[in-house]
Structure 1
């Protein structure tokens, strides 16, 4: 006589899958808020933390449901696998963020010249409430930066600041950075600088950077860069990565040759001469008048 067996569905497995499914849209909302919402990052961070808690809770419920499925024969194995895989969608990015947080020095403001970093002037306008200040960091923090990133240093280039200005301006355009302000090198003052606004493509976090061009007095240029995160107590190594990438791109540009920029500089100098107009000519000297005696 054949028997009829009834298998119950594990309620814990149902809950685990439901929690895992809920964590994904919550995480997606947090990403959209960070990248496109225009809201302060703290709100998106709290939303993402909620998604992490849901994913972790889903894993805990899955563990609690496993004995009943394995030993008692309740249904729900596929649900546990679904909960596990969906939980990874949220937890893997969280683990990556945690890795960078604990394995990178906790800085928000880095410079290639800790002793005399470039100063932010226009970048202050990018700050919102509760954002980081953009003052020059303390001597202690600058010493810590020099120990943590000894490879971050300015670059000396045997070209005039006027020419390097054209090259750096092209790099800013190619990187898609927003130009906040600039000082063009001139004959009176050969130093120049750029201030830039940057937004992360992935997270939407906002950064500002300053690039300073200094005349070395020997027809050369000293290039220094400073990059700062506008929010948070940790930049996850992004400022150092950005500075290294900028100098790598600068070396690539220099290796490709400077003929184009030399022609641009000559054209700008020609236009500047035209604006000033012709130089005034000296008046010819009048011959001295001869004096005649009457007598």
Structure 2
């Protein structure tokens, strides 16, 4: 009887782990290539997550039973465990990295004079999840106190050209670029699903031949973004400042 239970739980763990992994990546892949909606694809991941947690628990029990009964189904239990722990672990790490992020999806370096999109049209519900714009400002100030305008020792037109090159290297889709006006708008992509995030870079002369750079990054779907937009701004401006 113990061998029967061991084999049964081992194979159950394997089936659940493989099934959950296949379901999650099938949905995310379909969403990545826009066969289904981005949020619909993401739901495959959220539905698969508890299944994978269950598979992990069952796999651990199966491994213990295998150890006690002479490893009659060790391969099935081990494979199920590895798939489940990899899935659950990577998801937990990603969520943990964004636990301190505020529940907003719009980040910028200038809250007093927010860079505006001219070519790209944001969704009508861009303030979704919030009662009023002042709530966004308050959450932003608390969550991202480090996001500030940066000054670069180069003219405005050169800054935009450098930014355009960096954006293309990142695989962003350029929607508008005007070196003379000091504006760049682009669509960036997040995660395997390739969620679309809209980006605008505003560059103004500071009066001393340098560039005053501001940036904004906005998610088209969702309420919170786990800090993705703010991190995009940090990384991009850091790389832009390093251009020589």
Contact 1:124 1:134 in 2 (8 A): no
2:219 to 229, 232, 235: 229
CA 1:206–1:74 in structure 2 vs 1: closer, same or farther (change >3 Å)? Answer: same
Q: Report how far residue 228 of structure 1 moved.
A: 1.0
**d(CA) in 2 for partners of 1:170, 1:65:** 53
2:33 to 18, 21, 36: 36
Counterpart check, 1:150 vs 2:140? no
Q: Report how far residue 209 of structure 1 moved.
A: 0.6
Which fold has the larger relative contact order, with Cα–Cα distance below 8 Å and residues 6 or more apart in sequence?
2
User: Which residue is 1:182 aligned to?
Assistant: 177
User: Which residue is 2:163 aligned to?
Assistant: 168
Cα distance per residue 1:155-212 (max 9 Å; x no partner): 2234432333333333333333211123442xxxxx4211111113633111111111
User: Which residue is 2:84 aligned to?
Assistant: 87
CA 1:59–1:105 in structure 2 vs 1: closer, same or farther (change >3 Å)? Answer: same
User: Which residue is 2:47 aligned to?
Assistant: 50
RMSD: 3.0
**d(CA) in 1 for partners of 2:179, 2:65:** 73
Unaligned runs of 5+ in 2: none
Cα distance per residue 1:111-142 (max 9 Å; x no partner): 111111101232217x5xxx85279x723322
Unaligned runs of 5+ in 1: 1-5, 186-190, 257-295
Q: TM-score, normalised by structure 2?
A: 0.82
Counterpart check, 1:24 vs 2:57? no
SS of residue matched to 1:59: helix
Q: TM-score, normalised by structure 1?
A: 0.69
SS of residue matched to 1:102: coil
State the number of aligned residues. 239
1:133 to 116, 126, 131: 126
Q: Which has the larger radius of gyration?
A: 1
Q: Report how far residue 71 of structure 1 moved.
A: 6.0
**d(CA) in 1 for partners of 2:94, 2:216:** 23
Of the structure 1 ranges 31-40 and 108-117, higher mean CA displacement relative to structure 2 is found in 31-40
**d(CA) in 2 for partners of 1:247, 1:66:** 48
User: Which residue is 2:95 aligned to?
Assistant: 98
